[in-house]
Structure 1
Amino acid sequence: MFELGISMFGDLRVDPTTGKIQSAQQRLQEIIEEIKLMDEVGLDFFGIGEHHRADYAVASPEIVLAAAATVTKNIKLGSAVSVISSADPVKLYKDFATVDLISGGRTEIMAGRGSFIESFPVFGYDLKDYSELFEEKLDLLLKLRSNPVINWTGKFRKSLINQEIFPRATENGLPIWIAVGGTTSSVIRAGRLGLPVMFAIIGGAWEQFKPLFEVYRQAYEDYGHDISKFQVGVHMHSFFGDDSQSIADSYYPIYAAQMNRIGASRGWPPYQHTQYDFGRSSLGHLIVGAPEEMVDKILKIKETFGLTRFAAHMDVGSPAHKDMMKSIEIYGTKIAPKIREALNNA
């Protein structure tokens, strides 16, 4: 099955004139309405990210997902991502197991390092331990998922000795995905562990990622994992409208403003319209346009990489709620059915 879903970070709208940031309360209420619509139009999954900044609404994905579980029936609900390097894996497992029970087995964790670093000082961790923290905490999280009684010793927390872990997730077992950018070591680790991977393709030409997909699949096979259970996805910045040029024109200033806000702290040059135009081309990383051309582009990416999942990351720059709802509706009613039809007829 090829899953089609949406991811978000909970971006807050910034008034271009005054610089005033939208309230987190308003955006959180909007997000719940948007997830409800995703479920109603038949999308397969939703993922929400974790940030600890003034310009993002969501610091605890599991709380948003618990709220979403009460207004949805079928859609899978996961993080995108949980920054496990700065989290307590025991608390993380317990929280997500609780959401899994509330949702009837629809919950996932997507584990990642995070592209922002604010969570490290917030939770009392040192950035010099960035890689070691991720390795150790992922190891513990996987053991927690598999064992109701834990014996475990690590470097960054006290040992667990015959420790019972409750509650337990449903029989679905709480799937754990790994989110990666472009590092080969991360891809090989995921393949070694037999974990599904979500590649973030958020710049340049999407086909440049093909070697990493090949490395991941090879590692997965080399470590003896069942290829029938192989899962891999992409997360790509997306936005949809009825008319390609109209949606491209209206979304550009929102997208460019967010790229420039993030870029200002990272030393990026100002975002250019030429980057946006290339991104929207058949070769580029942006899935922004009208249904027919987006169907073709997503199908091409799926075929090239052998995808089992596509995540349309849809709130970059926080478009207006009504425009988000329209984009979700188009995705669920005009794009997803055409993709499914094409794959069923292939």
Structure 2
Amino acid sequence: MTNTLEFGLDTFGDITRDDTGPRSGAQVIRDTLAEGILADQTGVDYFGLGEHHRPDFAISSTEPILGALLGQTARIKGGTSVTVLSSDDPIRVFQRFATLNAIAPGRAEITIGRGSFTESFPLFGYDMADYEELFREKSDLLHRLLTEEKVSFEGKFSPKLSNVTVYPRPEAPITLWRGVGGSPQSVVEAAMNAMPLMLAIIGGDPARFAPFVDLYKRAHEQLGTAMLPVGVHSPGHVGPTDAEAREEFFKGYAKMHEMVGRARGWGRLSRAAFDAEIEQGSLYIGSPETVARKIARTVKVLNLSRFTLKYSSGPQDYRTNLRNIELYGTKVIPMVRELLATETV
């Protein structure tokens, strides 16, 4: 497991702060590029960017940042976390990632999902009543574009294609992951479309997702196809000590929880609930050893091929994000590999 296990970092481009207050969206985008380069330098395997269209996140277009990152590195993979395909154009998504794939063959990846926010629907003229149908149709078309050179397709929301080849043609396969938050049907669809499975686990004991992994495995067995990688995306923060990591992360994380919660009817996040989620749930916060032990347990319980830490959550101090990345790459990743190799999880 340890030879094939990959470690990633995710960010949505949360608006961070410095000594003078919130940093601008433009500065956060520049910071994100620097963070991706640092991730590559410290041994991280994957760097993912989430797409949002809100004032608390800076990244609405992932591919330009990924192009800059992949053009300045030689090893790290870059992709989305996630591409909100329902409100995008599958043909343009294919073309953008085929272009990235030309810049960095085999290193540009796509993760598609419905997304946890809906601002893109009215922004791009889509009706929320079509939420499910949009995603099904567009994911089908994108899958065909990635697996067939000549594509014929007809749908409600897409142009009719008759034996069409879309350019540029990828020189290397583009990996298409399916992001899943908690839908068994989505797990089965991922297996049916030969997509690796990325589980977004943002709360509760990660072991409760073991039935999803088992369902994914059984779906492949029934289809007669080989089991594909399974990954997990969860929030976290690495600090010098457990106490420092918690203090550094809580204020910004609670603020993010409050901003999102206004629209979703969430109550205020208490410090007790925060601490309980660290100790029993899916917040990976603490010293390098504490975070490494928790990641190793999740990897083992779910038999993962990739673990991705969402390192930026809310208006954190941008400097602690940089230190988080460095500690994750230089301390946590080697510790997890050692723990799994020695079976001391």
Using the TM superposition, give the Cα deviation of residue 192 of structure 1 relative to its aligned residue in structure 2, in angstroms.
2.1
- Is 2:313 the partner of 1:337? no
- Is 2:312 the partner of 1:284? no
2:324 corresponding residue in structure 1: 327
2:232 corresponding residue in structure 1: 234
Whether the aligned pair in 1 keeps the contact of 2:40 and 2:75 (CA below 8 Å) is yes
Q: Which runs of 5+ in 2 are unaligned?
A: none
Whether the aligned pair in 1 keeps the contact of 2:101 and 2:174 (CA below 8 Å) is yes
Q: What TM-score do you get using the length of structure 1 for normalisation? A: 0.94
2:155 corresponding residue in structure 1: 154
Whether the aligned pair in 2 keeps the contact of 1:96 and 1:108 (CA below 8 Å) is yes
Assess, with a 3 A threshold, how the Cα gap between structure 1 residues 253 and 113 changes in structure 2: closer, same or farther.
same
Assess, with a 3 A threshold, how the Cα gap between structure 1 residues 104 and 134 changes in structure 2: closer, same or farther.
same
Letter in 2 for 1:200: A
1:85 corresponding residue in structure 2: 86
- Is 2:306 the partner of 1:309? yes
1:197 corresponding residue in structure 2: 197
Using the TM superposition, give the Cα deviation of residue 73 of structure 1 relative to its aligned residue in structure 2, in angstroms.
1.3
When the two chains are superposed, the root-mean-square deviation of aligned CA atoms in Å is 1.7
2:186 corresponding residue in structure 1: 186
Using the TM superposition, give the Cα deviation of residue 339 of structure 1 relative to its aligned residue in structure 2, in angstroms.
1.6
- Is 2:26 the partner of 1:25? yes
Using the TM superposition, give the Cα deviation of residue 200 of structure 1 relative to its aligned residue in structure 2, in angstroms.
0.8
1:247 corresponding residue in structure 2: 245
Aligned positions of 1:56-205 closer than 5 A: 56-171=57-172, 173-205=173-205
Whether the aligned pair in 2 keeps the contact of 1:21 and 1:55 (CA below 8 Å) is no
Mapped to 1, the partners of 2:164 and 2:313 lie a distance apart of 41
Mapped to 2, the partners of 1:120 and 1:65 lie a distance apart of 24
Whether the aligned pair in 1 keeps the contact of 2:17 and 2:318 (CA below 8 Å) is no
Whether the aligned pair in 2 keeps the contact of 1:49 and 1:79 (CA below 8 Å) is yes
Q: Which moved more, 1:184-193 or 1:260-269?
A: 184-193
Whether the aligned pair in 1 keeps the contact of 2:143 and 2:193 (CA below 8 Å) is no
Whether the aligned pair in 1 keeps the contact of 2:102 and 2:171 (CA below 8 Å) is yes
Q: Which runs of 5+ in 1 are unaligned?
A: none
Return structure 1 stretches of 4+ with deviation > 6 angstroms: none
Assess, with a 3 A threshold, how the Cα gap between structure 1 residues 14 and 130 changes in structure 2: closer, same or farther.
farther
Whether the aligned pair in 1 keeps the contact of 2:80 and 2:109 (CA below 8 Å) is yes
Aligned positions of 1:35-74 closer than 5 A: 35-74=36-75
Q: Cα deviation per residue 1:161-182 (whole Å; 9 max; x = unaligned)?
A: 23221112222x1000000111
Mapped to 2, the partners of 1:79 and 1:168 lie a distance apart of 20
Mapped to 2, the partners of 1:204 and 1:67 lie a distance apart of 36
Identity rate, percent: 38
* SS of aligned partner of 2:94: helix
